[in-house]
């Protein structure tokens, strides 16, 4: 499943590529860094499981909201507005995207018979 948070202020989308992402200000600990004083060091968790997305507040000072409602935990649906202490994002969910890195590069491909050895035809 592909999941991302698109900032409403037009910033770069945040791709949620882990099953569990920690959101907050604390670098080295958080997977998603939100550089705002109003965001707690450890603000919330975003969990991907079975094609669903959930959020759980980690006791943040200014709260986590889904569609304007303060939540402790809740499900996120496509198009929902998720905000961490005023940093607002639109939730985007969809099928996993194919990446070119999963297919072998042309230089890595071997001919079908590359490992076949042949014997020379000799007559006795």
What pLDDT is stored for residue 102 in this prediction? 46
- Specify the residue for token string 């004083």: 37
Left, alpha or beta for 112 (phi > 0: left; psi -120 to 50: alpha)? Answer: alpha
What pLDDT is stored for residue 123 in this prediction? 54
Nearest by Cα to 41 from 56, 61, 21: 61
Tens digits of residue pLDDT in 21-57? 999 999 999 999 988 899 999 999 999 998 899 999 9
**The overall pTM is greater than 0.85:** no
Indicate the class that CATH gives domain 2-93. Answer: mainly beta
Tens digits of residue pLDDT in 87-120? 899 999 988 766 544 444 444 444 444 444 445 5
> Distance (Å, rounded) from C-alpha 89 to C-alpha 80?
8
In the chain, what are the domain boundaries? 2-93
């Amino acid at each position: 499943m592909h999941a991302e948070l698109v900032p409403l202020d037009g910033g770069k989308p945040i791709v949620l590529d882990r099953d569990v992402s920690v959101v907050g200000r604390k670098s080295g600990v958080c997977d998603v860094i939100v550089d705002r004083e109003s965001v707690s060091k450890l603000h919330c968790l975003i969990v991907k499981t079975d094609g669903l997305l959930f959020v759980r507040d980690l006791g943040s000072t200014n709260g986590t909201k889904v569609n304007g409602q303060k939540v402790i935990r809740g499900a996120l649906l496509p198009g929902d507005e998720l905000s961490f202490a005023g940093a607002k994002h639109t939730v985007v969910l969809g099928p996993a995207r194919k990446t070119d890195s999963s297919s072998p590069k042309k230089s890595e491909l071997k001919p079908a018979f590359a490992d076949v050895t042949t014997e020379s035809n000799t007559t006795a």
